[in-house]
Amino acid sequence: MGLIPGTMIWPRGSNCPSLLREPRERFALVRGWLRALLTNLYTNMHYKFLLNRRVKPRPRLDFLRRRRLTRLAEELHHDMYTAFAAGDTATLRSICADGLLANFQSRLAKRKPHERLTWTRGGKSTIVSHRSSILPFKDTHGGDTGVRQVVVRMVTRQRLSRSTMAGEELEVYEGEPKDVVEYLVLQRRIWDGAEEPWLVWGFAEETSYSRYVQMKEEEKAMRRAGAARTAS
């Protein structure tokens, strides 16, 4: 499962078209962003009230308790990087979706023997997208399935320290603190009549104008494919 189609992350700084120099592109992004907000509201309401009536209790969307989701994102973000630094694959397996887990496992396999990393962070977080979707397959009991994704903008100051054994001596390298902006994607599914725990799906990028145009073309292609299946 990739990023839910239609997910928009408003671009900042130089990634955002200038209102004076590129007004057409800027207003196109504004229209797309407003449309995405309305679609997000509709898909989340469908996810909560209509999708798979066997799910009890019904999912909590936390629209009015956004701090609950941002706090969760901060905790998972911290646990994920701390586990990666320590080479703790058990923790990574419990909080990461399959694609992200495979990426971390590949990077850990390339780490030097006896090398240890220590990761520290601090910062703030903001929700920039909250979207749901119906999945195109049934669960093991024949019930409807769905997925919900929350994109959180994480602005953090991170430091990665590295220590290795050189013979019998421990060499320590203290990395410089770096300001990092990441778009962390949290995901949970409705499966077998229950809502599964939140996992870290991975990371997303801001929606540039060129990416927005590409998204529109992908949407048109999906509609044509759907119309062709209906006609056949």
What is the CATH classification number for the domain harbouring 149?
Answer: 3.10.450.240
Higher pLDDT, 27 or 225: 27
pLDDT digits (tens, 9 = 90+) for 38-79: 999 999 999 988 887 778 778 888 877 889 999 999 999 999
Residue 4 lies in a domain: no
pTM: 0.89
Centroid of chain to Cα 154: 11
DSSP 3-state of 23: helix
Tokens of 120: 């520290």
pLDDT above 90: residue 18 = yes
> What is the number of other CB atoms lying within 10 angstroms of the CB of residue 156?
20
Please report the pLDDT score of residue 53 as a whole number.
75
Domains identified in the chain, total number: 1
Residue 3 lies in a domain: no
Of the given ranges (5-9, 160-164, 167-171, 206-210), which has the lowest mean pLDDT? Answer: 167-171
Residue 103 lies in a domain: yes
The overall average pLDDT reported for the chain is: 87
Please report the pLDDT score of residue 173 as a whole number.
60
Residue 25 lies in a domain: yes
Is 1 in contact with 191 (CB distance < 8 Å)? no
Residue 8 lies in a domain: no
Report the sign of the C-alpha dihedral through residues 38, 5, 181, 116, in that order: positive
Closest among 73, 90, 97 to 147, alpha carbons compared: 97
Range(s) of the domain holding residue 78? 13-231
